[in-house]
Amino acid sequence: MPFHDSSAGFHLQKNTLRFLCSVLIKSGTRVEICKLLDPSVFDDALQRVVFEEIRQLGSIDSRRLRALLPARVTSRGFPDFDLKQFLAPHEVSEKEIDQLFESVLQLLDLSHPDQEHLVD
């Protein structure tokens, strides 16, 4: 049940991708979340491609992920992709990580609408 280009949905999806690229989460956590998320919850084509590439890269250090992601997204048809601009604001504080995780939980609920909600 995607958001169909709503502003709130766009930001929710972007925050989820920021969370997945954060140095504050472990690579194993990223892999498990990616397994649970349905790519169809990403309405925006660029965000879907970024998610698919993050998922495909698997369990690697977030710094390595950030180094590899631009070339991979560019090769998927987004020649002007700029990771720093995409993830802005670039730095994620420990306080903000909780808010980004909340975005992940909301997208997980959308990925599995027939299961109990993680966020009320």
Q: For residue 109, with 0-12 CB atoms within 10 Å meaning exposed, 13-18 middle and 19 or more buried, which class applies?
A: middle
In this prediction, residue 3 has a pLDDT band, given cuts at 50, 70 and 90, of very low
Q: Which residues are CB-contacts of 37 (< 8 A; sequence separation ≥ 6)? A: 16, 51, 55, 104, 107, 108, 111
The pLDDT, as a whole number, for residue 90 is: 66
All structural domains of the chain with their residue ranges: 7-111
pLDDT digits (tens, 9 = 90+) for 51-64: 999 999 999 999 99
Scanning 1-120, the segments in alpha helix (DSSP H) are 7-21, 27-36, 45-57, 62-75, 83-86, 94-111
The larger pLDDT score, comparing residue 29 to residue 115, is at 29
What's the mean pLDDT in 81-110? Answer: 84
The reported pTM is 0.82
Query: Higher-confidence residue: 34 or 99?
Result: 34
